Structure 1
Amino acid sequence: MSLATDIAPHLPYLRRYARALTGSQNHGDAFVRAALEAIVSAPDAFPRDVDPRLGLYKTFHAIWSSANLEIEGEEGDAASDFERIAQNRLASITPLSRQALLLTAMEGFTNEDAGYLIDAPAADVASLVNEALAEIERQTATRVLIIEDEPIIAMDIEGIVRDLGHEVVGIAVTRDEAVQMATDERPGLVLADIQLADDSSGIDAVKDILQNFSVPVIFITAFPERLLTGERPEPTFLITKPFQRSTVKAAISQALFFNSTASFG
């Protein structure tokens, strides 16, 4: 099997990780492209002694480590408000802590694999994750709208949100209900399923909400393929059901950390 075939299934998730790490779809995709160019130019250098996904992320991290100081230091007319907010916050959290948090809680790597990717002892990864979460939680607190039609799942998500110190302003089960609640409550974060109770779409609900005001969005869905298509801009934060509580906590912390708005058409 060719190297391209081995790594292709993992590219959408690397793009998700890169966007979450950088706080920008454009910056994240630039790093992914650079990693792919490095693989194409020197295929023999690709780590073949590990799983292809690990090798792909390892190549990405080599690019990130050599260039992130330059990217994070960029300022210019094209920088958005949320990116400037993110960069100010990033300065207070070490890069290893951010990477450890995202690699384990969002991408699902073990502490050992995350340690391999960031060149840190596996025993240190858990401490790095806790350090990042604690710092992010100190910086962010908001009101959250949950769009979810399964009562048990909605209650679980509500508990996670409250455990992080945020307020839940409502739980909507249809598109219309979600839009109305968002209009009335103006939440600082939206957690949205895709398939809703009346066969309406959480994607459409989010589109309607974002037409009225900007708010960061996390999709929690059993149908990630509807968003991770590569054919249109995708939300930075996407969690697949069934989910781990730690994954939801990490996504909430990162979304609020970057104060970013999901953007898709």
Structure 2
Amino acid sequence: MEPASPGMPALPQNVLIVEDDPIIALDFEDTILGLGVKTVRTAACVERALQMIADRAPDFAVLDVSLVREKSFAIAERLDALGIPFAFVTGYGANVALPDVFSERPRLLKPCSTEALAAVLKLLAHDSARDLEES
């Protein structure tokens, strides 16, 4: 992650977006790059996302809950096991059902604002940095 300036948490520098709608994925990518993140990779399905994580783990991930024929929970489990922060995004409202283990994870509603996305990136980057300092 990029070093934080005083009072400002660092942004992750390698973000994985898991989104099955190519237009939404491009919008997320443009927004995240515009915030100053150096690398953004996208996957449209669970299998591809898991392969990308195995090839090079991201600093952070944005996971669409419902993909074409599957849910993104297997990706969330892998990220959680690796200690990689992530947030869910959904077009189905704030009350979308998540497994209990992920019920406290941040959720963004589609369409989400640049400000909301930036806030989640900074919050989770800050939490990750604090966790590293405590270990």
TM over 0.5, yes or no? yes
Greater RCO structure (CA 8 Å; 6+ sep): 2
| Partner in structure 1 of residue 75 of structure 2 | 205
Please give the per-residue CA displacement for 1:208-254, whole angstroms capped at 9, x wherever unaligned.
3433x11000111123423468x555243111112122111111111
CA distance in 2, matches of 1:233, 1:147: 16
| Partner in structure 2 of residue 165 of structure 1 | 36
Kindly indicate whether the alpha-carbon contact (under 8 Å) linking 2:32 and 2:40 is maintained by their aligned counterparts in 1.
no
> What is the aligned counterpart of 1:221 among 71, 90, 95?
90
Kindly indicate whether the alpha-carbon contact (under 8 Å) linking 1:239 and 1:248 is maintained by their aligned counterparts in 2.
yes
Structure 1: unaligned runs, 5 residues or longer: 1-88, 94-134
| Partner in structure 1 of residue 121 of structure 2 | 252
Please give the per-residue CA displacement for 1:95-134, whole angstroms capped at 9, x wherever unaligned.
xxxxxxxxxxxxxxxxxxxxxxxxxxxxxxxxxxxxxxxx
Q: Does 1:144 align with 2:11?
A: no
| Partner in structure 2 of residue 55 of structure 1 | none
- TM-score, normalized by length of structure 2? 0.79
CA distance in 2, matches of 1:233, 1:244: 22
AA of the residue aligned to 1:208: R
1:201 Cα deviation after fit? 1.0
CA distance in 2, matches of 1:242, 1:169: 19
CA distance in 2, matches of 1:147, 1:195: 10
1:157 Cα deviation after fit? 0.7
Give the 3 Å change call, closer, same or farther, for CA 227–168 of structure 1 in structure 2: farther
AA of the residue aligned to 1:218: A
1:180 Cα deviation after fit? 0.6
Larger helix share, 1 or 2: 1
CA distance in 2, matches of 1:193, 1:150: 9
Structure 2: unaligned runs, 5 residues or longer: none
Kindly indicate whether the alpha-carbon contact (under 8 Å) linking 1:145 and 1:187 is maintained by their aligned counterparts in 2.
yes
Give the 3 Å change call, closer, same or farther, for CA 157–234 of structure 1 in structure 2: same
AA of the residue aligned to 1:247: A
CA distance in 2, matches of 1:209, 1:254: 17
Identity of aligned residues (%): 23
Give the 3 Å change call, closer, same or farther, for CA 186–233 of structure 1 in structure 2: closer
| Partner in structure 2 of residue 238 of structure 1 | 107
Q: Does 1:154 align with 2:1?
A: no
CA distance in 1, matches of 2:84, 2:105: 13
AA of the residue aligned to 1:252: L
CA distance in 1, matches of 2:84, 2:101: 19
Q: Does 1:185 align with 2:38?
A: no
AA of the residue aligned to 1:150: D
Kindly indicate whether the alpha-carbon contact (under 8 Å) linking 2:66 and 2:72 is maintained by their aligned counterparts in 1.
yes
Larger Rg over CA atoms: 1
* Cα RMSD after superposing both structures: 2.4
